[in-house]
Amino acid sequence: MKAPMSPWRRRAASLALAAAVGLAGAGAGLGQSDEDVATAKSLAAMLRAGRAVVSSHQTEINDPNRGDKGLTGDEAVAEAKAGYKAATGEDPDAVDPSSKRGRLLKAQMDVIKEVFDANQATINAKGIDFKGFIPAVFGRLVNEAFSRRAGAEAEVKVTAPPDLVRNLKAQPDGWERQVIADRFLKPDWPKGREFSALAEANGRPAFRAASPEYYASSCLACHGGPKGDIDVTGYPKEGGAEGDLGGVISIILYR
């Protein structure tokens, strides 16, 4: 069988158990299906795998002396699929394309290809070192394209604690704000544990899942200190430290 149960899956299982034995007070999480949990997990994993393609090629992308980098949409998707497989143990192409999870994952892979293809001129520009094609920007473009394609059914967003938000589009909504404040920022919240619940999103009932992301040392060139200094992208640095909560991948599956 597969690797140990994911936290989301464990949570769904324990909630199912709570429901089965009629425990009171667990209301917030009741009714979450394993399929929703697995779908949210897959979409978060593929977004991470896509961003990792950008970060693993960042030096090359920023090289002003090199033109064509060969980092086409097809190449990027192949690398993202490999990264997804390494992280999850699952071949994304093997997910049943007629299932909701398979369909949404396919749409996400398609937009990863689309965003790389649409940015070839930027990626391959000679004479420019920093081109602004970084994981956060790439991730946002992918999530926006995903919304255009699948937004009636699902959305993927990267948000952050309100005081850290750079792009206004990334601002957390009420549910995300609450998960960040009441869970992810609490000192006793286990590092990396995800949270999911049935809740409204944009006025519609939804399954919602949130996965915390923490600053690594590689993030601090832009998000570290000294606070307020301008980073290479033109934004003021947040003064963050390694291990701080830097953001949240938020997944919405409308019901």
Could you list the residues that contact ligand HEC (CB under 6 A)?
Answer: 134, 136-137, 140, 158, 160, 164-167, 170, 213, 215-216, 218-219, 221-223, 231-233, 235, 246-247
62 versus 72: smaller Cβ distance to ligand HEC = 62
40 versus 136: smaller Cβ distance to ligand HEC = 136
* H helices, E strands: number in the chain: 9, 4
CB 8 within 8 A of CB 15: no
Closest CA to 41 of 77, 76, 89, 1: 89
12 versus 141: smaller Cβ distance to ligand HEC = 141
**91 φψ region: left (φ > 0), alpha (ψ -120 to 50), beta (else):** beta
Cβ 195 to ligand HEC, closest distance in Å? 16
174 versus 236: smaller Cβ distance to ligand HEC = 236
Cβ 122 to ligand HEC, closest distance in Å? 14
Q: Exposed (0-12), middle (13-18) or buried (19+): which is 115, by Cβ within 10 Å? A: buried
Q: Which residues pair with 158 in a beta bridge?
A: 249
Assigned token pair, 102: 């398979």
76 versus 219: smaller Cβ distance to ligand HEC = 219
Cβ 26 to ligand HEC, closest distance in Å? 30
Cβ 46 to ligand HEC, closest distance in Å? 17
9 versus 223: smaller Cβ distance to ligand HEC = 223
The distance in angstroms from the start CA to the end CA of the chain is 29
Cβ 162 to ligand HEC, closest distance in Å? 10
Max alpha carbon distance in the chain (Å)? 66
CB 209 within 8 A of CB 37: yes
Assigned token pair, 3: 């690797």
Q: Which residues pair with 250 in a beta bridge?
A: 157, 210
73 versus 247: smaller Cβ distance to ligand HEC = 247
- Helix, strand and coil percent figures for the chain, each rounded to 5: 50, 15, 35
Cβ 32 to ligand HEC, closest distance in Å? 25
Residue number of the CB atom closest to ligand HEC: 247
CA angle 230, 233, 237 (to 5 degrees): 35
Cβ 160 to ligand HEC, closest distance in Å? 4
User: What is the C-alpha R_g of the chain?
Assistant: 19
- Whose tokens are 């930027």? That residue is 122
